[in-house]
Amino acid sequence: MTAAPGGPSPAKGIPFLALAVLGAGALLILVGILFWRGGAPPGAEPPAGPSPVATEAVTAPGAAAPAPTEPPAVVPTVVELAPAPAPASPAPASAAPAAPPKEAPVPPRPTPTPPIVETYACRESAVFNVSPEEALVTVDGETIGTADDWDDAGGGKKYRFRSAGPHYVRLSLEKYRTTWIRIDVRPGAEHKTANVDLELKKAREKDRGEDEE
């Protein structure tokens, strides 16, 4: 009688399965050995781990924690500034000596030689009818000419005074005695013009010496 065909023989399938299991185990053992040695199989990527930056040191329980490290103290740099030079004080201007106040020159008023022969009064002017007519007429120290120049006759004029007040007149001529008179000029005087009518006296030798002095 002929047997019907069936599946694979059980004796042939068992050895194949056993070989596959042994090969897988050998492979696992080989991989374990490689990992145990710290090496990775060729072409395998290293296992992902925590970033070195983010890794924090883990202190074992019971161990003293390391003292925190303080940053080094920063010593401030002291910059010494040299003192600025003091501004030079301006040299005081040399004080010029104060000039003395100028006074208006006052014409010197002659001191009459006493005695005054005659005193006249007028409001503004005088005429000199003096003999001899060549006698010099000097009013307040200023010689104005001869008596003939101021007799108001024959070309002569009236002498007009510049200001009110007393005016001293000196009549002089060689070989004659010097004669002094005073003429007061004031608004309330009776006459507008003083008429000086005098005759000079001859001088003696002694008088001439005094007049020359």
Query: Which residues have CB under 8 Å from 123's CB, separation 6+?
Result: 185, 186, 187, 188, 189, 191, 192, 193
End-to-end CA distance of the chain: 212
Query: Which residues have CB under 8 Å from 115's CB, separation 6+?
Result: 180
pLDDT, one tens digit per residue, over 164-201 is: 999 999 999 999 999 999 999 999 999 999 999 999 99
d(CA 199, CA 183): 17
pLDDT, one tens digit per residue, over 95-108 is: 566 776 676 666 66
Query: Which residues have CB under 8 Å from 39's CB, separation 6+?
Result: none
d(CA 153, CA 133): 12
- Write the Ramachandran bin of 140: left for phi over 0, alpha for psi from -120 to 50, otherwise beta: left
Residue 145 has pLDDT above 80, yes or no: yes
Domain definitions of the chain by residue range: 26-199
Residue 161 has pLDDT above 90, yes or no: yes
pLDDT, one tens digit per residue, over 97-141 is: 677 667 666 666 666 556 899 999 999 999 999 999 999 999 999
User: How confident is the model at residue 55, as a pLDDT?
Assistant: 44
User: How confident is the model at residue 171, as a pLDDT?
Assistant: 97
Phi, psi angles (nearest 5°) of residue 118: -150, 150
User: How confident is the model at residue 52, as a pLDDT?
Assistant: 47
Residue 159 and residue 130 in contact, taking contact as beta carbons nearer than 8 Å:
no
**The model's pTM:** 0.46
Average pLDDT of the chain is 76
Residue 2 has pLDDT above 50, yes or no: no
User: How confident is the model at residue 71, as a pLDDT?
Assistant: 62
